[in-house]
Structure 1
C-alpha cells in the first residue's frame, strides 16, 4: 500500500478534483464517491480531497456546481420521459400482438411493422443526437471551467503580488517619514547649538557651541 501524500496541491490536481466532483453531481453520484475516486488517482485520502474541495476548490466553481445540478435534473427528467415512451410503445406492440385476430381492427401487415420500426428507429437516432449534443456541451463546460479555474488562480496570484507591493509601499513611506523626522531633529539640534556674538565692529557673528 503506497503512503498517502501530505504535500501541497497543484493547479492540475485541483482541476482534476473539480472535474470529478462536478461529473458526479451531473450523473447523480455523491461527493464522497468523487473524493474516493480522486484520492485513488492522486494517492491522497478521501478526507484530504474533501477538505481541499470544501476549503478552496468549491469556491472557484459556484457557477459550475449550479449548472451541474441543473443538468442532473434535466437528465433525470429525460431518462424518465424516454423510459415512459418506450414502455408505452412496447405496451402497444404487446397489446396488438396478443389480441385475438377477431378483435383486431385490421390485420397486421409486414409494411405496417416495418413502418413502426422505422419510426422507432428515428426516435432512437434523435435520442442519440441529443446525447451527442449533450456530450459536446459537457466538453465545452469543462473547457470553460478550466479557464475559470486558471483565471481564478491568476487573480489570486496577482492579488498576492498587489498586497506585497502595497506592503512594500507602506514600508517605504514609513522609512521616508522616519528619515524626515531625523532631518528635522538634526536641524533643531543644530540650531540649538548655534549662538551669536557681536564683533568689535558691531556685527553679529555665529558661534558654534
Structure 2
C-alpha cells in the first residue's frame, strides 16, 4: 500500500490539477472525480487535491472555470443537436459529421435541408469551441512563461544571497583568527625554573 505524499505542491502539479478539473467541468463530470484522478497520478489523497484546488489553484483559474462551464453548456447543446432524427417510418438522419445519411423508404428535400442546417450549426459551435481553446491555451502559455521568468529571477537572487552568505562566513572566520592572534600576543609567555632551594619560580619571557 503506497503512502500518500504530504510534501509541498509544485507548479507542474498545480497545472495538472487545473487541467484535469477544467476537463471534468467541460465533460459535465464532478470535481470529486477530478480530485481522485489527480490523486492517483500524484500519489496524493483526493482530499489533499480538493483542499489544494479550493485554497489556491481555483483562484488562479477563474476565467478558465467560466470558459469550461460555458463549453459544458455548449457541449450539451451539441449532444442534443446530434441525436438521430426520424425521417419517415424507417429512415433516420445522424447529425454527427463523421456519419453519413442513412436512408429508409424516402427522404424529402426539407429533411435533407434540415440535416444540413443543423450540421452547419454544429460546425459553427465546434469552430467557436476551438477558438476558445486556442485563446485559453495561449493565456496559459503566457502564464507559464511569466512563472518561468519569475522562477529564474528567484534562482538568481538565491544564488546571490548564497554568495553573500559564504563571503560573510569567510570574513567572520578571518576576523575570529585575527582576534585569537591578538589575544595570544597580549598574553605574556611564562616559564618556570628551579631556584637554589629546589622550588619552582615563575619567570616572564
TM-score band (shorter)? 0.5 to 0.7
Question: Pick from 138, 142, 148: which aligns with 2:143?
Answer: 148
Unmatched segments (≥5 aa) in structure 1: 98-107, 162-209
> Contact 1:15 / 1:149 at 8 angstroms: preserved in 2?
no
- 2 CA distance for matches of 1:150 and 1:53? 22
Deviation, structure 1 residue 95: 6.2
Deviation, structure 1 residue 129: 7.4
What TM-score comes out, normalization by structure 2 length? 0.54
- 2 CA distance for matches of 1:95 and 1:45? 52
Deviation, structure 1 residue 150: 5.8
What TM-score comes out, normalization by structure 1 length? 0.53
- 2 CA distance for matches of 1:132 and 1:57? 29
Inter-CA distance 135–43: structure 2 relative to 1 (3 Å threshold)? farther
Q: Do residues 62 (structure 1) and 39 (structure 2) align?
A: no
- 2 CA distance for matches of 1:2 and 1:133? 43
Inter-CA distance 67–156: structure 2 relative to 1 (3 Å threshold)? farther
Tell me the residue number matched to 2:44.
44
Deviation, structure 1 residue 41: 0.6
Higher relative contact order, structure no. (Cα contacts within 8 Å, ≥ 6 residues apart): 1
Query: 1:145-175 deviations in whole A, cap 9, x for unaligned?
Result: 34336647877999xx9xxxxxxxxxxxxxx
RMSD between superposed Cα atoms in Å: 3.9
> Contact 2:22 / 2:68 at 8 angstroms: preserved in 1?
yes
Query: 1:33-77 deviations in whole A, cap 9, x for unaligned?
Result: 000000011111000000000110001011111111111112112
Higher helix share: 1
- 1 CA distance for matches of 2:115 and 2:81? 17
Moved more, 140-149 or 12-21: 140-149
Deviation, structure 1 residue 79: 1.7
Deviation, structure 1 residue 134: 2.9
Unmatched segments (≥5 aa) in structure 2: 93-102, 158-205
Q: Do residues 134 (structure 1) and 133 (structure 2) align?
A: no
- 1 CA distance for matches of 2:30 and 2:104? 50
Inter-CA distance 96–71: structure 2 relative to 1 (3 Å threshold)? closer
Tell me the residue number matched to 2:11.
11
